[in-house]
Amino acid sequence: MPNMNPKKCPMPEQAPDVRNKNFEEVTLGYTAEMAVEEAQRCLNCKNKPCMTGCPVQVKIPEFIALVAEGKFLEAAAKIKETSALPAVCGRVCPQESQCECHCVRGIKGEPVAIGRLERFVADYARENSTEKAVKPESNGHKVAIVGAGPAGLTCAGDLARLGYEVTVFEALHTAGGVLMYGIPEFRLPKAIVQKEIDTLKDLGVEFILNFVVGRSETIDELFGDGFEAIFVGSGAGLPTFIGVPGENANGVYSANEYLTRINLMKAYKENSDTPIYHAKKVAVVGGGNVAMDAARCAKRMGADEVYIVYRRSEKELPARLEEIHHAKEEGVVFKFLTAPLEVLSDENFNVTGLKCQQMELGEPDASGRRRPIPVEGSEFVIDLDCVIAAIGTSPNPLIRHTTPGLETNRKGCIVADDEHGITSKDGVFAGGDAVTGAATVILAMGAGKRAAAAMDEYIKNKNK
């Protein structure tokens, strides 16, 4: 008999007033008892609607049934059949718009907490499983992966399991991509990401760090080194600025730089020598996950006032619901229907404020969202000493500028087919944010997975 409680079993978390001063993980995860209780809410629907919402087709009802029986390691193995990074996805996937939004229990109550269960199972396996990945026998073929984000890591793992000699070239000094440099420790502890990377190393994947493809070596030079196929998962790390007067003042950051200093360069640690401005009044312009992360980091770095400045209404906020909820609880103030007009600064060129304008919503635009329209005579100033731009990113142009024959679109994204990641250049495959523009972890993983299968096929055909 299923547990018919209409609500999800709540997950313990740090109190807002405590957690907004530290970088420890906000949510604490289910205990085994909570996980079993929540798993018993699953109706095990025959047609598995939840799975249609998962870009990597995790066998959701099957793993949840195993949790309900207390078979946690078996549940972890079931998820691992299709997902390489469950501890990451359980924490950061937008479940409310993917698996959970298709859950039948969501019709008359809250959906089954699929994300929380996935996280529980992955954490349990990490802490209790003694199994260690083993390098499979080599098939003698060499492949290269550009970029060690979720797309590249997934592709690398799948190819290594098939026996390929896999080398990952990563521009930064740490592998993990946005999982390491963007998403903060309090949402995704870095030890969890590192553990996944260590598993790939056990599988025989070689990581070459501080290697910028396009500078250190071009894609064509990598082919010259004997790599038979190359996957480009270089992400979309180039920030877009707001485009208003005054934004080159001291105290204006891109969210990418701000978050990289804090997360990758550990500016939040007391003994860190990474320079960062400890601002007191901060406005973050934007409404996505990146904006929420920057705002919540600013609070933890000691800001008294932190604002989200967003030009549409709360309904259109693209961030995950959980991040919005947590940001509000932590004291971040949301200024909806507000657009920046100018960054104001003093005679030393230090930020003093942000001149803004009130907006109202008109007809839907090309994105399907209602277009913000300025309200005349509604200008006002927010006093600040820091402005963080979190209005989007695009792919860095280096690879497209140094790879003849690689087609890109007008947004600078590599053109690749969704099914296989095949690009216009023979032997080059691509996926993740480098192809789609800024998207999600699970979509990047899905693309890496499909490309790995296609690369295997490509190399086999070539060597027939």
Using CB under 6 A as the criterion, which residues of the chain lie in contact with ligand FAD when the complex forms?
92-94, 146-152, 169-172, 177-178, 182-183, 212-214, 233-235, 237, 259, 289-290, 293, 320, 396, 398-399, 432-434, 438-442, 444
- In the complex with ligand FAD, the residue whose CB is nearer, 72 or 181, is 181
CB of 390 to ligand FAD, least distance (A): 8
- In the complex with ligand FAD, the residue whose CB is nearer, 178 or 387, is 178
CB of 433 to ligand FAD, least distance (A): 4
Mapping DSSP to helix (H, G, I), strand (E, B) and coil, where does residue 278 land? Answer: coil
* Backbone phi, psi, residue 157, to 5°: -60, -45
DSSP letter at 174 equals S
- In the complex with ligand FAD, the residue whose CB is nearer, 39 or 284, is 284
CB of 50 to ligand FAD, least distance (A): 17
- In the complex with ligand FAD, the residue whose CB is nearer, 61 or 94, is 94
CB of 172 to ligand FAD, least distance (A): 4
CB of 6 to ligand FAD, least distance (A): 26
Report CA Rg, the chain.
Answer: 23
Mapping DSSP to helix (H, G, I), strand (E, B) and coil, where does residue 127 land? Answer: helix
CB of 151 to ligand FAD, least distance (A): 3
For 431-449, b where at least 16 C-beta lie within 10 A, e where not — what string?
bbbbbbebebbbbbbbbbb
- In the complex with ligand FAD, the residue whose CB is nearer, 65 or 323, is 323
Residue type, 74: E
CB of 153 to ligand FAD, least distance (A): 7
First to last CA, the chain: 55
Number of neighbouring beta carbons within 10 Å of residue 266: 16
- In the complex with ligand FAD, the residue whose CB is nearer, 233 or 372, is 233
Give the Cα separation of 126 and 121 in Å (integer): 9
DSSP letter at 41 equals T
- In the complex with ligand FAD, the residue whose CB is nearer, 306 or 341, is 306
Q: Of 303, 354, 292, which is closest to residue 329 (Cα–Cα)?
A: 292
CB of 280 to ligand FAD, least distance (A): 22
Locus of tokens 């000691």:
302
CB of 463 to ligand FAD, least distance (A): 27
- In the complex with ligand FAD, the residue whose CB is nearer, 167 or 345, is 167
DSSP letter at 315 equals G
- In the complex with ligand FAD, the residue whose CB is nearer, 358 or 436, is 436
CB of 255 to ligand FAD, least distance (A): 6
- In the complex with ligand FAD, the residue whose CB is nearer, 267 or 290, is 290
- In the complex with ligand FAD, the residue whose CB is nearer, 14 or 289, is 289
Mapping DSSP to helix (H, G, I), strand (E, B) and coil, where does residue 332 land? Answer: coil
Give the Cα separation of 108 and 262 in Å (integer): 42
Strands 386-389 and 252-254: parallel
CB of 161 to ligand FAD, least distance (A): 18
Give the Cα separation of 421 and 445 in Å (integer): 12
For 355-377, b where at least 16 C-beta lie within 10 A, e where not — what string?
bbbbbebeeeeeeeebebeeeee
Helix or strand (DSSP H, E) at 454? helix 441-462
- In the complex with ligand FAD, the residue whose CB is nearer, 294 or 341, is 294
Give the Cα separation of 334 and 82 in Å (integer): 38
Instruction: Dump the DSSP string for 408-451.
Output: B-TTSPBP--TTT-B-SSTTEEE-THHHHSS--HHHHHHHHHHH
Mapping DSSP to helix (H, G, I), strand (E, B) and coil, where does residue 373 land? Answer: strand
Beta-bridge partner residues of 430: 232
CB of 259 to ligand FAD, least distance (A): 5
Cβ–Cβ under 8 Å, residues 240 and 393: yes
